């Protein structure tokens, strides 16, 4: 299993909305006690490999990848991992050339803060980091965990800023204290979802956690 956490490198971007995916993968590495990320010069990414859960032959092998490029060039770190696309039947029942052992974790403006969603074979939806990954992998048939970063009203309507604000300020701004608490709660669920994806299967995790993410 290969898990990719999208975000921008550098301390100045830690805790920002655009780094929700990167933060989730880092938290997963910590919970799974996989050790420390190491910089891989060939891929220009922080990489960590190990086994999650179980003893002996049980458990699942995983490689975590945090691109050290800026978000819109995330795909350049993934050429090494783009090999091995196979014709498989995805959770939608449709056979196609896919990377069924790849999960990309990223922020999503179209999902309310505090919620998340596991998706399969979806377009980038305007997310430049995901678009870069799709172009690098040569397919959009892989799993994604989309973490909501947009505040919403009590009735669930997104309070989405205009395009210029999104580009210049919103996605690279830090969460407010109350928002950070909401993010912390959903990231905990994302970490558990990743654990099930590795030790069981992403398809089962999608079925189990898409309901939990929206409670």
3-state helix, strand, coil in the chain (%, to 5): 40, 25, 35
Q: Which two tokens stand for residue 62?
A: 């995983």
- Which segments of 169-201 does DSSP mark as H helices, in order? 177-199
* 6, burial (CB in 10 Å: exposed 0-12, middle 13-18, buried 19+): buried
Closest CA to 133 of 102, 163, 110, 101: 102
As a dihedral over the C-alpha atoms of residue 176, residue 180, residue 186, residue 187, rounded to 10 degrees, the angle is 130
Q: Are 214 and 206 in contact (CB under 8 A)?
A: no
Mind telling me the catalytic residues? Answer: 18
137: left (phi over 0), alpha (psi -120 to 50) or beta: alpha
Q: Are 142 and 104 in contact (CB under 8 A)?
A: yes
Closest CA to 121 of 28, 195, 202: 202
Q: Give the distance, in angstroms, between the CA of residue 202 and the centroid of all CA atoms in the same chain.
A: 13
């Amino acid at each position: 299993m290969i898990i990719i956490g999208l975000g921008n490198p550098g301390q100045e971007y830690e805790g920002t909305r655009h780094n929700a995916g990167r933060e989730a993968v880092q938290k997963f590495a910590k919970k799974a006690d996989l050790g420390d990320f190491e910089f891989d010069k060939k891929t220009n990414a922080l990489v960590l490999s190990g086994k999650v859960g179980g003893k002996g032959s049980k458990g699942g092998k995983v490689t975590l990848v945090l691109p050290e490029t800026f978000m819109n060039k995330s795909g350049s770190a993934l050429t090494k991992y783009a090999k091995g696309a196979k014709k498989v039947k995805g959770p939608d029942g449709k056979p196609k050339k896919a990377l069924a052992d790849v999960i990309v974790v990223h922020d999503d403006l179209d999902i309310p803060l505090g919620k998340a969603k596991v998706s399969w074979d979806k377009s980038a939806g305007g997310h430049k980091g995901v678009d870069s990954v799709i172009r690098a992998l040569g397919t959009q048939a892989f799993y994604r965990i989309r973490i909501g970063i947009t505040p919403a009203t009590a009735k669930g309507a997104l309070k989405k800023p205009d395009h210029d604000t999104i580009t210049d300020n919103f996605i690279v701004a830090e969460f407010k204290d109350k928002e950070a608490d909401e993010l912390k709660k959903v990231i905990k669920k994302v970490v558990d979802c990743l654990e099930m994806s590795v030790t069981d299967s992403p398809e089962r995790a999608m079925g189990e956690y898409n309901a939990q993410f929206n409670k």
